[in-house]
Structure 1
Amino acid sequence: MASPWPADVDAFGELAHALLDVTPTGLLLLRPVYDAAGEAIVDVAYEYLNEKAQLLLRLPAQPTESFLTIYPAETDLFAFFRTAFLAVEARSLYSGTYQRAGTAFHFHLVARRQAGRLVVSMTGAADQPHAAIKAALRASQARERAAWQLAERQQQDINRFFEQAPVAISLLRGPRHVVELINEASAALLGSTREKLLGQPMMEALPALQRQGFDRVLERVLQGETIVLDETPVVLDRAHLGQANHGYYYVRYQPWRAEGEEIIGAMIVAIEVTDQVLAHRQLEQLNQELEARVQERTRQALAAQAEAEHQRTRLAQLIAEAPAAICVLSGPDFVYELVNPRYQALFAGRIKVGQPILTAVPEFAGQPVWYGLKGVYETGRTHTAESKPVPVARPDGVVEERYFNYIEQARRNEHGEIDGVFVFGYEVTDQVRARQQVQRLNQELTTANQDLGAANQQLTRTNVDLDNFIYTASHDLKAPITNIEGLLYLLKKALPAATRADELVANVLARMHSSVERFTRTIGHLTDVTKLQTEFAQPPATLLLAAVVEDVRQDLLPRFTEAGAHLEVAVDECQPRVFSEKNLHSVVYNLLSNALKYRHPDRPPRIRVACATEGNSLVLTVQDNGLGVSEWQQARLFQLFQRLHTHVEGSGLGLYMVKKIVENAGGTINVESQVNVGSTFTIRFPA
């Protein structure tokens, strides 16, 4: 027969159901019915009547009709129900006379709201012989003893479950965070014992937690905030336990509330070396007030059972809201006894309580997860697996391999015998596949680095060959051009004076001499290019930029005087730099000589050399008021043998060499210029 108990009550609620059905007090579970706007209570619906209430009211366990449909004239009683529901936590009392189908008796009601329902206790005065009353009392006492025994066994189950749980659980009370409840797993995680921690302020017993800011976390929790720390690093003194002091934890802090929603402390659930956390929330305690001597004894039994139910409900809530997949398997066939939503979600909701595991998940047959369960059940030794493949069938029936971290731990009864297995697990498929992808990418990167190394070796050989070619070409061409220059000199000397004076002959000889000179300079430039790489390797020294600028100014002093140039130097604040003296001298020399060479004909040159420190970098600027260059010319300015002004002598090699020196030192150079206004060269040297 289907249970009349409401469908949203879990398996633990069935114990309360059995106890309420044997009590001689009528108990009703009512639910308010609202108007269409969902604001005003217009009626009351029956959800459950225990056996005593059914006898008193002559109604079934779950009447389909509402209260005002059955009793349209009982407006005062309906008003009592509505007031009691709106009173939330206060008890409400009512007395009256019940009349129906020729039956009349006086009754007394006690009502109290529990979540979204109204719990009503009903007692009636009936004419019974004294002997019948005594018999009823004896029966009630027998039921009371059975209820106490049941409540005691439930409390023992709760304590065993709490102690055997492989997750750390603790309760801290008040602003000093006094340890009121803590299991062995939590004490071991903190590097202490339950005896040392119980009754002690947590931050005083473990000052390392306060130094790491966990006292501030607890203060926020006492203000009503739920805090989840995912993979947070924590340092604890656990070396004496043979464990690492530094670890990572998934921790959830949640306010611990009394029945009136007042925050009285903090609940803490932690899992070490996991990405998961158990959430915990405390529910209101079921507490029924009953009347008279038999009713009072029954109330005490109910109170004891309610406390046990509260403890079990609290643990059940922790399990239900835990981010880990949790199930409890019973017996050697591993029948599902409890399954939380996370576990159910892994198997697309196909797990049914009461089914053996191989019936619900046939793909586990012959797999390590199955043999792990059998080993735990037979030996009692906890089985832990990390990143293990587990076959799981998708909703379309296709079995795919997924990866999990899981713990299988034996459950023991009150005699210490193994009667089931706890399973705590969480999926790490994404992490495992990401790790596998990283491994593949590392292999590809290794191959790419090997290819790059071979290419670099080839490029090095090519550069060496190129340097050798340039050196050989410049060396082999020097002798012929020198011979040509000597022959031109002899030819000019051998020609008669009249012939040398001829305009055509003189022009040809001059052009031949000019060509030989340009060719000689080109050979010299090629030699300079081959020397450029070795110049970069000059030994570094600690230099003051001001001293280098002054040295260059002295070298160029005749040209400064000839051009009437003004040089402004603002580099005294620059810190000494470690650099090649010859290379830094070459950079400054080329920039200052170019400023003089490409000056504007209509105004005397004004040149400013300045530097600034940005972080660890040195920024050097050389600004002039010369001819300037266009945007198109700026893009070609640092290329080899590029000459953008032909009215003065030049090789197009100076700025190319400056750029190479700066870049080989890890720096950068750029130019901002405007035609007929001037140019600014900016060089950044790294630390």
Structure 2
Amino acid sequence: MAATELVQRKLYIKLTSACVLGSMESASSTDAIVPDELAQVLLDIAPTGMMLMRPVYAAGDEAIIDIAFEYLNPVAQRKILLPARPTESLRTLYPGDEGLFAFYRAAYLSGERAEYESTREVAGLVFSYYLVVQRQGPRLVVSFTAATDNPIEAVAEELHASLTREQAARQRAERQQQDMHRLFEQAPVAISVLRGPQHVVELMNEANAMLLGSTRENLLGQPIMEVLPRLQGQGFDLVLQRVLQGEAMVFREVRVKLSRAHLGQSDCGYYHVTYQPWRAEDGEIVGAIAVATEVTEQVQTRQELERLNQELEARVQERTQQAHASRAEAERQRGRLAQLIAEAPAAICVLSGPDFVYELVNPRYQALFDNRTLVGQPLLTAVPEFADQPVWSDLRQVYETGCTHTAENKLVAVARPDGVLEKRYFNYIEQARHNEHGEIDGVFVFGFEVTEQVRAREQVQRLNEKLTAANQELCDANKQLVRTNIDLDNFIYTASHDLKAPITNIEGLLYLLKKALPAAGRSDELVASVLDRMHGSVERFTRTIAHLTDVTKLQSEFAQPAVTMLLANIVEDVRQDLLPQLTEAGAELEVDVDNCQPRVFSEKNLRSILYNLLSNALKYRHPSRPPQIRVTCAAEGDQLVLKVQDNGLGVNEWQQARLFQLFQRLHTHVEGSGLGLYMVKKIVENAGGTIEVQSQVNEGTTFTIRFPA
């Protein structure tokens, strides 16, 4: 800037300041400045920047801590990029320029005119500026101008334009975001965004919330499987896990159960659902995006098509009165009908004229006849295999009579690409089409292939027939088994009863024989040994007959009333009975049954089970170690599990298979009748329980009994 121009500007500043100061003399020292018209004009047309400022004091103190802006003229606004009345203070806007703040404070305190020259960086350029300051009452009047030839105004204007463009771009982005939000909300499909492995609902449009039978407020921010427990068990958690692994999945007509009765909607429906991984900017999968569309049921589809057909016919009739409007409406309806037909889950075609020329086929119908041209072809030309089938005669009847024909599970032979006829089953509806004069000019066909369902039903029927035959065989076998058991019980009872008298007579005769022998004979070692063996045989025979009698009583005793008892008490009674044998063998008996209370056995039967198992553990102990016997009982679900475990001789697999048979004795070095374990098994099974054995030779045996708690 030339020196002369600088002097002229300084002179103009002095004159302007004087005018401004003079016009503000009447203003109160505490009120905001309200310049008169002349002062306002001078401020606004001044070629230099003009500012009105005032000091800011500390609370309860006279110390100046900051400088506030009250008014900036247009030049000042443009030069320093601030509004006419900024809300920020000097130290807020320029926190690092303490020299400028000190200059203002000193000028205010002195009351004298002051000048200040410094530099400032704007948009990467350094500019010099010149300040003239004069206190007027409680305020400072400031005039400033650039002291160099750098185009600070141009830079400021460019910054302003840049800010304006940025604001416009931000507004466009906000509008785009609002448009996307409206698109998301108004989308005709249900859309949801689920985050993380818990499938938390991040976003969801109202259509999705209504489809799920809830409100968006109840779903947002919640794990979807927890807030909608009805979805659990339908496989959606597994699908979402696969999507989180990067797999996109598409389902058509998937059956879903929802809770929507409170909305007046069905709780069960069919949907087209698409799942897509949701990826962050770095490509990491953070969740899943789900899009669902409810599929109109087949009956509703047919009803909608009939309604649209009726509307179309009505529009055609109105065409004579409103030609142009009717034509436009008809075209719109045709478009809707074509779209609906194309997207319908049924196989649909329109046949025209007596030759049934294909006028329209939707994708599902076309898929039934791969690699064939249908549209524009007569039916028998395109699908000649229909000629001798009921589907052709049904079409002719509908065309001639106008009566709708419905078929279910109808067998239709369709030629494969190789020419081989394939048996397929369909549900279909054939309905007459009428022109504007009410005459039949074609046929609508709506079909649903049910081949898989029919074959599955036939398979189920065959299996049911086999099951019925098997049940009959099982029933006959059970009857035979019952008769055999009855005969066996009768035989055992008869045998035991008929043998009692002879064995009693033999026992009496032995007694008389022993009594009749002379003393010398009784003292003879051979005679005494023979008599003892004969008495032993009679005793064993008597014991066997008693056991056979007990076997016949099992069937009549198994249904005794259920009573509550403490198993520990019964085990203790059995232990007392076997105490001599336990002591003699040096056996260790461990019992852990305090928490079991059987309610299905009579005390007598339960005692018999424990006595047989414990006495067997003592009889068949291992000769090289003391017996260790353990009795435990624990609840498993709705059963009690009783176990008797020993470290005795054990049995092999062949012996285990025969362990519970009648009169089976697997060890002959001890006495026994072979009836004990047979009776234990019968008692357990009569009470609805089971008994198992696990054993290893020379290691021991474990009997496991399961019965209702």
For normalisation by structure 2, the TM-score amounts to 0.54
Q: Which amino acid aligns with 1:406?
A: Y
Q: Deviation digits for residues 224-247 of structure 1, max 9, x if unmatched?
A: 86443434445655998xxx9455
Maintained 8 Å contact 2:350/2:445: yes
- Point out the more displaced range, 380-389 or 527-536: 380-389
| Separation (CA, whole Å) in 2 of partners of 1:483 and 1:455 | 42
Q: 2:609 aligns with which of 558, 565, 587?
A: 587
Counterpart of 1:156? none
Q: 2:534 aligns with which of 506, 512, 519?
A: 512
**Corresponding position: 1:539 with 2:544:** no
| Separation (CA, whole Å) in 2 of partners of 1:321 and 1:426 | 14
What SS does the corresponding residue of 2:458 show, helix, strand or coil? helix
* Pairing 1:263-278 to 2, within 5 Å after superposition: 268=293, 270-272=295-297
**Corresponding position: 1:249 with 2:270:** yes
| Separation (CA, whole Å) in 2 of partners of 1:415 and 1:236 | 45
- Rate the CA distance shift 1:446–1:346 in 2: closer, same or farther, 3 A: same
- Rate the CA distance shift 1:372–1:239 in 2: closer, same or farther, 3 A: farther
> Deviation at 1:371?
5.5
Runs of 5+ unmatched residues, structure 2? 1-180, 191-204, 216-227, 277-287, 302-327
> Deviation at 1:601?
5.1
* Pairing 1:163-202 to 2, within 5 Å after superposition: 174-176=183-185, 178-179=187-188, 201-202=206-207
- Rate the CA distance shift 1:464–1:595 in 2: closer, same or farther, 3 A: same
- Rate the CA distance shift 1:246–1:326 in 2: closer, same or farther, 3 A: same
Counterpart of 2:631? 609
Q: Deviation digits for residues 483-542 of structure 1, max 9, x if unmatched?
A: 222222222222333333333333333333333223222222322222233333333223
Q: 1:230 aligns with which of 254, 263, 269?
A: 254
- Rate the CA distance shift 1:611–1:351 in 2: closer, same or farther, 3 A: same
Counterpart of 1:15? none
> Deviation at 1:336?
0.7
- Rate the CA distance shift 1:355–1:273 in 2: closer, same or farther, 3 A: closer
**Corresponding position: 1:528 with 2:550:** yes
* Pairing 1:116-195 to 2, within 5 Å after superposition: 174-176=183-185, 178-179=187-188
Maintained 8 Å contact 1:627/1:676: yes
> Deviation at 1:666?
3.8
> Deviation at 1:605?
3.8
**Corresponding position: 1:495 with 2:500:** no
Q: Which amino acid aligns with 1:230?
A: V
Maintained 8 Å contact 2:684/2:707: yes
What SS does the corresponding residue of 1:337 show, helix, strand or coil? strand
- Rate the CA distance shift 1:384–1:645 in 2: closer, same or farther, 3 A: same
Counterpart of 1:283? none
| Separation (CA, whole Å) in 2 of partners of 1:416 and 1:247 | 40
What SS does the corresponding residue of 1:596 show, helix, strand or coil? helix
Maintained 8 Å contact 1:568/1:607: yes
| Separation (CA, whole Å) in 1 of partners of 2:698 and 2:248 | 71
Q: Which amino acid aligns with 1:663?
A: E
> Deviation at 1:472?
1.0
Maintained 8 Å contact 1:330/1:421: yes
Maintained 8 Å contact 2:189/2:292: no
Maintained 8 Å contact 2:359/2:376: yes
What SS does the corresponding residue of 1:540 show, helix, strand or coil? coil
**Corresponding position: 1:431 with 2:453:** yes
* Pairing 1:405-416 to 2, within 5 Å after superposition: 405-409=427-431
| Separation (CA, whole Å) in 2 of partners of 1:604 and 1:265 | 70
- Point out the more displaced range, 204-213 or 546-555: 204-213
What SS does the corresponding residue of 1:652 show, helix, strand or coil? coil
Q: Which amino acid aligns with 2:525?
A: E
| Separation (CA, whole Å) in 1 of partners of 2:414 and 2:624 | 87
* Pairing 1:70-469 to 2, within 5 Å after superposition: 174-176=183-185, 178-179=187-188, 201-203=206-208, 208=213, 226-233=250-257, 245=266, 247-249=268-270, 251-252=272-273, 268=293, 270-272=295-297, 324-340=346-362, 342-347=364-369, 349-365=371-387, 368-370=390-392, 372-373=394-395, 383-393=405-415, 401-409=423-431, 420-469=442-491
Maintained 8 Å contact 1:253/1:268: no
- Point out the more displaced range, 475-484 or 369-378: 369-378
Q: Which amino acid aligns with 1:526?
A: L
> Deviation at 1:270?
1.3
What SS does the corresponding residue of 2:564 show, helix, strand or coil? strand
- Rate the CA distance shift 1:457–1:334 in 2: closer, same or farther, 3 A: same
> Deviation at 1:404?
0.2
> Deviation at 1:660?
2.6
| Separation (CA, whole Å) in 1 of partners of 2:599 and 2:586 | 32
Maintained 8 Å contact 1:234/1:249: no
- Rate the CA distance shift 1:330–1:268 in 2: closer, same or farther, 3 A: farther
Maintained 8 Å contact 1:568/1:609: yes
- Rate the CA distance shift 1:174–1:678 in 2: closer, same or farther, 3 A: same
Q: Deviation digits for residues 182-240 of structure 1, max 9, x if unmatched?
A: xxxxxxxxxxxxxxxxxx943565662776669x999999x986443434445655998
Q: Which amino acid aligns with 1:176?
A: E
| Separation (CA, whole Å) in 2 of partners of 1:444 and 1:670 | 32
What SS does the corresponding residue of 2:563 show, helix, strand or coil? strand
> Deviation at 1:470?
1.5
What SS does the corresponding residue of 2:295 show, helix, strand or coil? strand
Q: 2:702 aligns with which of 659, 680, 685?
A: 680
- Rate the CA distance shift 1:205–1:415 in 2: closer, same or farther, 3 A: farther
Counterpart of 1:143? none
| Separation (CA, whole Å) in 2 of partners of 1:265 and 1:648 | 76
What SS does the corresponding residue of 1:579 show, helix, strand or coil? coil
| Separation (CA, whole Å) in 2 of partners of 1:361 and 1:596 | 85
What SS does the corresponding residue of 1:538 show, helix, strand or coil? coil
What SS does the corresponding residue of 1:505 show, helix, strand or coil? helix
**Corresponding position: 1:623 with 2:645:** yes
- Rate the CA distance shift 1:554–1:265 in 2: closer, same or farther, 3 A: closer
Maintained 8 Å contact 1:177/1:266: no
Counterpart of 1:477? 499
> Deviation at 1:468?
0.8
What SS does the corresponding residue of 1:355 show, helix, strand or coil? coil
| Separation (CA, whole Å) in 2 of partners of 1:265 and 1:612 | 49
- Rate the CA distance shift 1:569–1:177 in 2: closer, same or farther, 3 A: farther
| Separation (CA, whole Å) in 2 of partners of 1:504 and 1:569 | 47
- Point out the more displaced range, 264-273 or 471-480: 264-273
| Separation (CA, whole Å) in 1 of partners of 2:263 and 2:388 | 40
Counterpart of 2:196? none
What SS does the corresponding residue of 1:499 show, helix, strand or coil? helix
What SS does the corresponding residue of 1:567 show, helix, strand or coil? strand
- Rate the CA distance shift 1:369–1:629 in 2: closer, same or farther, 3 A: closer
| Separation (CA, whole Å) in 2 of partners of 1:490 and 1:675 | 47
CA RMSD of aligned residues (A): 4.6
What SS does the corresponding residue of 1:387 show, helix, strand or coil? strand
| Separation (CA, whole Å) in 2 of partners of 1:441 and 1:665 | 33
Counterpart of 2:692? 670
Counterpart of 1:121? none
Maintained 8 Å contact 2:231/2:257: no
> Deviation at 1:458?
2.3
Maintained 8 Å contact 1:610/1:620: yes
| Separation (CA, whole Å) in 1 of partners of 2:538 and 2:684 | 33
Q: Which amino acid aligns with 1:272?
A: E
- Rate the CA distance shift 1:439–1:598 in 2: closer, same or farther, 3 A: closer
Identity %: 70
Q: Which amino acid aligns with 2:207?
A: M
- Rate the CA distance shift 1:336–1:238 in 2: closer, same or farther, 3 A: farther
Counterpart of 2:620? 598
